[in-house]
Amino acid sequence: MKLSAKPLKTLSDAERGNLALGLFEEKDTHAAALKAHPALKRLLETGDFKGKANDCVVLYPESGSTRLMAVGLGKRAAFGARQAMEASATAVRRAGKLGVEHLTFALPSEAGASAAVVEGAAEGARLGTYAFDRFKEKKEGEAPKKVSACTVAVSASARAEILEKACHTGAVIGEAQAFVRDLAALPSNFKTPTQLGEEARKMARKTGLSCHLILRDEAKKLGMGAFLGVAQGSAEPPVFVVLEHKPAKASGKAKKPVVVVGKGITFDTGGISLKPALNMHHMKDDMTGGAIVLGLLKACAELELPTHVVGLVPFTENMPGGKAQKPGDIVYAMNGKTIEVINTDAEGRLVLADALCYAERYKPAAVVDLATLTGAAGVALGRFAIGAMATDQRLVERLQAAGEATGERVWQLPLWDEYLELMRGEAADLLNTSGGEAGTITAGSFLKEFAKHSPWCHLDIAASAWGKEEKPWSPKGPTGNGLRMMVQFLRSWR
């Protein structure tokens, strides 16, 4: 999708053609729009359009625009980057269904001309075109119902180069989230650990990241017994991906890396502790944390962020083969701790344990892991928040601030010592599950034992990673939720 941005002195200067015009709820903000586009008068007089967030009505004026869409921005006082993203996505999605190829999305002067608003609008425009249709038959002669070009027009005096930079930033972030969704939506036979390792290598080569793939023999030498224990039941070999964005201009605090770890279970059957058949096909998305890490490093490189960032993803399947680990088996993690495997379906924390140990070799400024880890996260928070557990309060507060800014919200859960006691084993140092109460928190308490030496935060994205209803900016299925929050977090890291 081609995205551009430009300042407008008046709304009358908006390009003729297909125009989406953002309008607030407050009637005193409509004067400029009515003057520029009289066709809106009757619509606003009837009260059929009230400007509520993401309302959308299509008009066909006798002169001027081919189509004129009125898009609700909500209340003026609440408007910001997130609202711009949603309104832009709403307009672009509607335009695509109408067969529009080129769209101008114009914001009133009251919306301001901040870089953040333009970024949000550009993100939304890209997300509004998103569809996972790789495996659908393309009918001969059928035109794709997607907007191919969108201009974000801001009705205020602003420097064009600032708007264009903001538009580029939004486009990169939107594209990175689409990349994450694509990886999570792929069926597991198209994203084996080996294939995803090659995808990471290809992406690194294209963007200038460094990439190293740790294969089984090297993982054995490193002592990654927890990771390899999960992998041993699958015919597909495991691949541990290491990506690094190390900008030459990083200075001060930004020189010490932030390490981001993602769970990379490319398909989760539950292993010997087999999952029920119903909805097991969704387990192709159990590598969403890993997909976010790949998309995040891609965005870091393309945005030329000045922060040193390392991405770690242990990719493997969790299968019930003849060589699969069994309940009661004991494995050694990379730091020497022993783990008794009570339930082979609690495998994500095992692969993350070794990844968190590996992260310590970078002596990082902070470590953040993202994982579709527990169904209990959805019980606790629903699908509206990411559960966070941390050893450093400042770190989790920064993640929460990034979540509020992007709408990918984070809610902190406690890590009291009592929860860790539920994970203590008799035959081994730790159990891989308590099998009962506080499932999300006990999983975080387990991971804490492998993240002892650096500020660390665990993000359980299980509930928000899969959308149950379609929105213009977020489809049914994999959402990529957490990517934009992590980009915002790293952009503010100083």
Q: Which residues are catalytic?
A: 275, 349
Cα 245 to its chain centre, rounded Å, is 18
The sheet carrying 67-72 orders its strands as 2-7, 149-154, 102-107, 18-23, 67-72, 56-59
Amino acid at 437: E
Cα torsion for 222, 225, 229, 232, to the nearest 10°?
40
Beta-bridge mates of residue 331? 339
C-alpha 494/C-alpha 491 separation (Å) is 8
Beta-bridge mates of residue 412? 388
Cα 222 to its chain centre, rounded Å, is 30
Q: Which residues contact 196 (CB under 8 A, 6 or more apart)?
A: 183, 239, 241, 264, 266, 287, 290, 294, 313, 315
Helices and strands per DSSP (H, E), number in the chain: 15, 20
State the DSSP H helix or E strand holding residue 196, giving kind and residue range, or none if neither: helix 193-207
C-alpha 189/C-alpha 196 separation (Å) is 11
Q: Residue 41 half-sphere exposure, CB side, CA atoms within 13 Å?
A: 6
Q: Which residues contact 212 (CB under 8 A, 6 or more apart)?
A: 241, 242
C-alpha 218/C-alpha 358 separation (Å) is 13
C-alpha 104/C-alpha 493 separation (Å) is 34
| Token digits of residue 452 | 């002892």
C-alpha 341/C-alpha 343 separation (Å) is 6
CB atoms within 10 A of CB 46: 8
Phi first, then psi: give them for residue 482, nearest 5 degrees. 115, -25
Do residues 40 and 70 make contact, with C-beta atoms less than 8 angstroms apart? yes
Helices (H), 285-416: 288-303, 348-359, 376-381, 393-406
| Pairing verdict, β 264-268 and 456-460 | unpaired
C-alpha 403/C-alpha 397 separation (Å) is 10
| Token digits of residue 69 | 């869409």
C-alpha 177/C-alpha 132 separation (Å) is 13
CB atoms within 10 A of CB 281: 11
CA dist list (Å): 468 to 24, 96, 384, 416: 29, 22, 11, 33
